[in-house]
Chains A and B, each alone.
Chain A
């Protein structure tokens, strides 16, 4: 199997994953750890009158019950955008599952029994769980105005508004277009459902603290804890073993500050492993209602896009408002649109704080806009693929006027998908085809350091702060180092997930790691290559400039010397090693609406063939084609796995997934029995992934980020296939059998 860049060797870290040896946070042995259980209420919003821990503390084995009374006042708050989330609810709970107290006990059993015995006297208050309820005049405020002093919106549930647009305002008037299509679309609340529930552990560590977490962003967590605990960064060590799936839900701090405070109070380790139900209550994707007005010329080219998207975020902002701003920003899609107006609002509610989730706000608007484009194509009698191609941005087009121009040959991906689905060929009766394009802005800023050590025997250690949560960063970074330094892949170790050892990395998100950390590791390897070049010059007595070091080889005149040979002789008797430091920055641009332009775009075209059962409303996906523009696949098998995974996850919110809330703001379908995600029985009959490689990305060897794109256009492509098969148009997700059946029944 080919280990080099461009090959698909066995996953680095794969052995532990198939043998059960891989240690996730919940697997770490800590015999002296106290077990933590959260105390929560049976409603979303309540005024807390009192908390009585007497009975709970009588349970044998219970050490203490943490309540706000034991926390500093004012209670520390945190959050990546706004510091609005308290360590424990103070005065009022704001979502179903928000902890009001937490028990620490010697055993899980004792902690669980005691948590049930903590007596919380409370008064349930009306909760706001829908956009309509949150936006109505006089709606209860989720966050009091004191949380955001000086903000004119702070007397409403609108946390922030994001406006982007270009072209003249008059260009959006209806009479400028031959056809205007206007519709409202709904996207449901769904949850990440990583198979690994979130888990945390903390322990005092000399004059500092060590915290284990399933977190994606260990360095970010380190900053949060350092501020809250008043400790220098050097005294806060975050250990983040490879997460068991994350999908954005593990980006930011959740209960780590609580667990850290409890460890300091206990003077010994404490651990909190969430149940799946608690994880559902901790993270989700924002629901959205999106109104789209699209103006078309009669030839199908766009006149304008006018988009108003309300995202229902949760009780605390987490990163949700950034999701709204960044996700809605490329809302017009991958097209040339002469005039655009996008208004996106983040609307607070008494629900689980929504956060990052694969696609980062793009799937919601994409669902609406691509579906509206399909409606326009039908109304104009133009083939939906043809209409899209007429508008598609070509390489170099400044399709979002103040951002990175189109950075790929996207038409190629679209044509490949069309070919693979058999676009335009005859269909069996009862079947239909749909197609949609998706786009996502890559990271707008970034900073990734890395260290690479070439050891005396030619083996390599890479230190990279990326989290490998399944996307395979460990493998790709190892491939780069192996290739550049001429080591076999098994001789490369990648150290991640320890802030005391690994240099700073901003975060693992926005499909950035191959590009940003990949380049950082590449730079570190190049530094080592430069040292090898001087070594070789010395050893062979030639000018440095005549020596070339590349991809594992030192070229001295027409001699090709393997790197380890030069290394061993060059290091001499004392041995030692060569150390390279990598740094990759994506600078911010304060003038840009997102604070920086896109490092790259993820483009994907998804094409679906589906059959609809008219009796039951069941949709069978016959063929699902997904084609991403990836620049260069450093590991093609991993690219395919990420695209397949994103496609299947997209089918989840398209066909089956959604939270159901009751009036008290409780999630009614908590857990795996009532919230279904795709299993091996829910797959398309055929799932075909392909990729376009033009080596035109900013990452190593021309790679681009990927792994979210294939999720984005799934819903619109499936709905278009249903429309093609039945003539019925559905604008609410998920496309459950009941919904499809009802739409067929009510068809005019």
Chain B
């Protein structure tokens, strides 16, 4: 195999579990999530940071995993789509996506849900404009934008009290 590829050890907390692994220095975080950790919920589309299908939360901030080198993630804490539902129960946000029709083919949805999750963490009471802007980096060719926005706003309202 490609033994001349340089590898470095990294340690990352992924959805609460500490993972120690050796990664190729040129591999992106997305490569490592999908190929080394078998976390395929984060999707591959544009690979240039334009579509948001690979969105994950790194130390509290959303990033496109295709733009981050895996070695740069050393010592960080990550949340991926796999970390949002607990014990088979959907988070209120995930449930709202389904109830408001925010999902069609689903390919962009992990990225959308992660972006929306981070948005609500930063800003529990977003306006419609905040939401549109918050998910502007997540393309949906099925065109679920209106419904996704609705789902996010309703989730915020329900948790607002």
Contact = CB atoms under 8 A, between A and B. Distances in A.
A414 interface: no
Interface string B118-150: 000000000000011101111111111111110
A649 B45 CA distance: 18
Contacts of A646: 143
Interface stretch (B68-76, B105-113, B153-161): B105-113
Contact of A19 (B1, B3, B82): B82
Contact of B105 (A19, A60, A243): A243
B48 A681 contact: no
B1 A110 contact: yes
B24 A109 contact: yes
Interface residues of A, number: 68
A672 B106 contact: no
B79 to A, nearest CB: 12
A276 B107 contact: no
Interface in A9-68: 10-11, 13-24, 26-27, 29, 59-61
Interface string A395-430: 000000000000000000000000000000000000
A672 B51 contact: yes
B92 to A, nearest CB: 11
A194 B141 contact: yes
B141 A17 contact: no
Contacts of B81: 19-20
Contact of A641 (B51, B106, B109, B142): B142
Given A195-B43, A244-B43, A680-B132, A22 B141 contact: no
Nearest to B94: A18
Interface in A216-254: 242-247
Nearest to B90: A18
B45 A471 contact: no
**Of residues B4, B43, B107, B109, which shows the largest number of chain A Cβ atoms within 10 Å of its Cβ?**
B107
A253 B69 CA distance: 35
A60 B26 CA distance: 17
Interface string A670-695: 01110001111101000100000000
A38 to B, nearest CB: 16
**Of residues A17, A21, A60, A677, which shows the largest number of chain B Cβ atoms within 10 Å of its Cβ?**
A17
Interface residues of B, number: 62
A637 interface: yes
Interface in A649-685: 649, 671-673, 677-681, 683
A107 B50 CA distance: 26
A19 B138 CA distance: 17
Given A11-B98, A641-B142, A196 B1 contact: no
Contact of A194 (B99, B105, B145): B105
A616 interface: no
Contacts of B46: 276, 671-673
Contacts of A107: 1-2
Interface string A166-203: 00000000000000000000000000111111000000
A16 B144 CA distance: 17
Nearest to A8: B101
A197 B51 CA distance: 12
Interface string B9-42: 0000000000000001010000000110011111
A58 B41 CA distance: 35
Nearest to A244: B107
Contacts of A683: 132, 145-146
Contacts of A246: 105
Given A19-B82, A471-B104, A472-B104, A641 B136 contact: no
Given A14-B97, A18-B106, A20-B81, 10 more contacts: A11-B101, A20-B110, A192-B141, A194-B107, A195-B139, A244-B107, A638-B101, A680-B131, A683-B132, A683-B145
| List of 7 A-B pairs having minimum Cβ-Cβ separation, nearest first | A20-B41, A244-B107, A470-B105, A17-B106, A645-B143, A470-B104, A672-B50
Interface of A: 1, 8, 10-11, 13-24, 26-27, 29, 59-61, 106-110, 113, 192-197, 242-247, 273, 275-276, 469-472, 637-638, 640-642, 644-649, 671-673, 677-681, 683, 687
7 contacts: A14-B103, A60-B1, A61-B2, A109-B2, A109-B5, A276-B47, A672-B139
